[in-house]
Amino acid sequence: MRDFYKDLLIGILFIIGLTGFISGEFIISSTLFAAAAVASNVNPKRVKSGLFLWD
């Protein structure tokens, strides 16, 4: 289920970024595209204490 929320976040960021690009807001859209790229490449690592560490 965690992957669903991650995919939903990436999809929403991409669609909003695409909408911003079409409307001419290039700085905002490139920030949203970068956030979608970072979110799609982050892989959380679970440790025994239940906390997440980022690689």
Q: Residue 36: which pLDDT band, with cuts at 50, 70 and 90? A: confident
Range of the domain at 43: 2-54
- Write out the E strands in the chain: 44-46, 52-54
At residue 51 the predicted structure's pLDDT band, cuts being 50, 70 and 90, is low
Choose among 19, 18, 9: nearest CA to 42: 9
Please state whether 50 falls in left (phi above 0), alpha (psi between -120 and 50) or beta: left
Number of domains in the chain: 1
Chain segment 5-22, per-residue pLDDT in tens: 888 888 888 888 888 888
Q: Is the pLDDT of residue 28 over 60?
A: yes
Query: Residue 1: what pLDDT?
Result: 54
Residue 45, SS3 per DSSP: strand
